[in-house]
Amino acid sequence: MIDPKILRTEPDKVRKALRDRGGDVSLVEVFVSADEEWRKKLFEAEQMKSRQNDISSKVAGMKKKGEDTSKLFEEMKAQSQEQKKLAEDAGVLEKKAKDILLIIPNLPDKDVPAGKDEKGNKEIRKWGDITKFAFKARAHDETGEKLGIFDFKQAAKISGSRFVVYHGLGAKLEMALINFMLDVQTGQNGYKQVMTPFMVNAESMLGTGQLPKFEEELYKTSDDLYLIPTAEVSVTNLHRDEILTADVLPLKYASFSPCFRREAGSYGKDVKGIIRQHQFNKVELVKFCAPENSFDELESLTKDAEKILQLLKLPYRVMELCTGDLGFGSAKTYDLEVWFPSENKYKEISSCSNFTDFQARRANIRFRRSSSSKPELVHTLNGSGLAVGRTLAAVLENYQQENGSVVIPEALRPYMKAEVI
């Protein structure tokens, strides 16, 4: 969440940020009103408690002298009830202000381009030549089904729509991509591999910003655990309520996990094939760093994700998201978009974001610059390195042959022990 001090001292700055993001500007007024009332009630409650203490001391003195204290005792009793009511009212207002604060998005960085939606995104760079064929390019799902490596009917029988069963070399290709991505990030880019739980508690979802705003997108178990929509959640919460030392920063983690998303409201968008499913695999990159380094760390994280596409020789471009297309917690985001020949366009395969102190404030993740310095909030970053299913789909599309086969990228052949599917 954003610093409440900014809302108190610079409400116009937050209003502008919300307008730029297409957000609800009225949240500022609701927060400011509740926050001011809370602090007023809290002050009154503290004053009342101080008066109670004064009366209590006076009663004690009168009792020693044998004087009648009944009237003061009744006054103290009345004030105690009033003080209790003020404290309860203050608690309700404090919760209201905090609840509003939890649904206000992060403030975009000053360098983020202004725009209402994805049309305002800015192309930063391209890599690789667009794949061209002497034949009509087939969609990845058509290729996968004809090769017998995808089975959507079996998946629908088992689970419903938006699931897939991988067979044979399809399953092997998925696993090869996971291991390849992890090997590159840990062996070449300096990330530490972690495996974290795929189910988390509400505090973890709150810490990274999925709750309370996006609860409808989440799968929840009967014992109040949530299936993670991304390993970002469990990895970021590794250090919830901790104070790190400056010498360990930046911390860099790479984590594979299945991801679970309801995809509520996205029906009709990328529903064909394996681009947007309820369950998919992903390798996630997560960083914790000092505030002054976070935007440089975003640049390096983005390049770490790009490296996978370069090694696979998949053409892609890097897009900087505009204010209106930023994710809820992000201050700045780069999307990597890979080329899909069958659609003759680029499609998102990774989002790399700097959350500044937005998640750290929610999850109480801090660090000390020295043993004598005060704790400060870290900055958190994350990005897909990459979404595995989408990478597999991009391989099927860009490496397809006229006879229906698919050539396996050289970087994956040591994992596949095969050259062609």
Active site residues: 261, 276, 348, 351, 390
Please state, in angstroms and rounded to a whole number, the distance separating the CA atoms of residues 253 and 209. 19
Which residues lie below 8 Å from residue 245, measured CB to CB, with a gap of 6+? 367, 368
342 touches 140 (CB < 8 A): yes
DSSP for residue 248: G
Tokens linked to 332: 């700045």
Length reported for the chain? 421
Radius of gyration of the chain (CA): 27
Three-state DSSP state, 350: strand
| Dihedral angle over CA of 338, 117, 258, 102, nearest 10 | 150
**Does an H or E element contain 193, and which?**
strand 192-193
Please state, in angstroms and rounded to a whole number, the distance separating the CA atoms of residues 55 and 200. 50
Sign of CA dihedral 30, 36, 39, 44: negative
Q: Of 365, 380, 384, 394, whose CA–CA distance to 255 is shortest?
A: 384
Which residues lie below 8 Å from residue 307, measured CB to CB, with a gap of 6+? 184, 188, 189
Sign of CA dihedral 249, 254, 257, 260: positive
Which residues lie below 8 Å from residue 396, measured CB to CB, with a gap of 6+? 140, 143, 144, 406
- DSSP symbols for 153-167: HHHHHHT-SS--EE-
